[in-house]
Structure 1
Amino acid sequence: MKKVGIIGAGWYGFRPQIKDLSFREMVFEAASRAYENAGIDPRKDVDTFVSCQEDFLEGISIADEFAPDPIGGAMRPTMTVAGDGLQGIIHGAMQILSGVSNVTVVEAHAKPSDIERIDKIIEFAMDPLFSRLGINVHFLAGLDATKFMKKYGIKRKDLAEVVSRNLSSGFKTPRSSFASKVSVDDVLSQDFVVYPLSRMDIAKYVDASIVFILASEEIARKYDPIWIEGMSFATAEKLGEAEYLSIAAKQAYKMANVKPSKVDGIFVDDRYSYKELQHLEALGISSKEFLRDQNIEVNPYGGHLAKGVPLEASGLSLLLDAIDFIKEGHESAIVASWRGIPPTLAQYWW
């Protein structure tokens, strides 16, 4: 089977609030950096463009009208994905593998600081029964966390260790606005937002834009590419389990012909501290063994707890970390993003 390679990347932001640029200008900044990184001209060298965005998060109806210009795709084939950036990567890879394109640009961005009531936007993704009862997303996460912790023997202290380690690891990358030196006791001393989660267990939102450039195997070999060996996405719902990731991971492992134990680094969504451990279990890695032995690199740059959650760009944020990790000399990485509301979930896996 032919392969798809990543030949360039660019990003802008990763700050709690960017006041001086609109989301379109942020995308332009990230795209300019990606094209400079790859040494290509978007008007001559790119065949198709993919933008990941959602009208509700933009506050603009038919927001995809604004997609082409900032990425150099005016009057060119441009599609939008109302989903996570990793899903956009998969769409871009499929375009290349199907022969539609040789070079495809994938963009995702977020400007949650512009959203006056993001909690009300999130309610649109919830079962109406929940919102009518006044149940918010953190309450659902608390239920999901409690059931997961009971099944796998995870303690509150284990979640605090995830928070402490990830916030400290954030100092390794300039994208971490929330990196901090905090102890396990510091985390445990916090009041609960909803049991078993304190405010430190919940990642904050961040403004950011990210652009990746994908290329066919023939073109990618002219660069120093990062190869995409396996990919999949799935949707499922099961309280206390990341079933969506289990399904996607099995498909991607088969495609890549790899076992998780043979991979150098794991980059998973940790917007709630327990989710990092839940996602490890779904990938076939024992969370208890990880906590005990620290025998594998998991979110070595701090994940979302350190960098923040850039909405639809969350998966691409983890992918940026994975690429930095590989460029440091490591051979391989798993990237797993999550887009959903506990326990109604969707997952995109690369």
Structure 2
Amino acid sequence: KREGRPSDSEILTSRLIDRVLRPLFPDDYHADVFVNVILFSSNGEDMPDALAGLAASAALAVSDIPFNGPISEVRVARIDGKLVVNPTFKELEKADMDIMVGATIDNIMMVEGEMNEVSEAELLDAIKFAHEEIKKQCLVQIELTEAVGKTVKRTYCHEENDEELRKQVWDACYKPAYEVAASQNPNKHERMDAFETVLNNFLETIPEEEREAKSALVSRYYHDVEKEAMRRSILDEGKRLDGRTTTEIRPIWSEVDFIPGPHGAALFTRGETQSLTTVTLGTKLDQKMVDDALVHDTDRFLLHYNFPPFSTGEARPQRGTGRREIGHGNLANRALKKMIPAD
């Protein structure tokens, strides 16, 4: 049949790749980069999503695109107490741990997965085990670039900087920004206004004829000032911006049966964040058919995560489910599905 928009599984695979690649482009490289990973063929036994990150990184490694890689990703499963790299579909059915790890030679970049209850030490062992395999795949990519001849990375217009202006922003704004951060005002909007006042006060000191030309640089430099002031305040005072200690969570409130129609409903509130959740029980006829390239099955537990624009005060059209909603919904699904009774 004709391909339509990417399926949920394809979107989830692309997000696995994106999470590891995205932080490794230079901060001032703003050109659009599209990496297309296409599954042409499969033996039906091995799971191709575990190889997608390796394929994407290898393509970037031999390209002229600036990239601080290589990276790779592997799936690690624990089967009968033994860690296995990139298990087959059949092997994964017996696993009590299933994680995907993405990393460079030196650093872990991403971990996602699901498992039964395990200790922190067991999870760390699995991540270290994965990293050793990733290192081998990264070294192979380096050999590949040498074999095909290293491609000279393209030159691009780096962001212009005014170091004297940067110093002026730090000297003038750090102390008042720190004071705002350390004030521990529980009202988020008042804190945001106070931080913005610090920025505006500095902009007022710039001659009017230069202000418009310098405002973008000032805003960028002030963002770094604000970030460091927040960080130092938390480390120095031992409290977060709203006065909570580093071990204290936001106030939590919840109510069940919030909506009378569904089989279950709850309103959960933490600080200024709210989640309205409903649940409906169905029959076997309501199970979702899964018809992906390599998986043909039914799914009896469905979780739909919606993040409409109005939830953050935005006014924009809704055109289907977004990648973020699919990704975050999958995380919640993986966390909850093992709690659903078998029948």
Pairwise TM-score range, normalised by the shorter structure: under 0.3
- TM-score, normalised via structure 2 length: 0.18
TM-score, normalised to structure 1, is: 0.18
Query: Which structure is richer in relative contact order (CA contacts within 8 A, separation 6 or more)?
Result: 1
Larger Rg: 2
> Which is richer in strand?
1
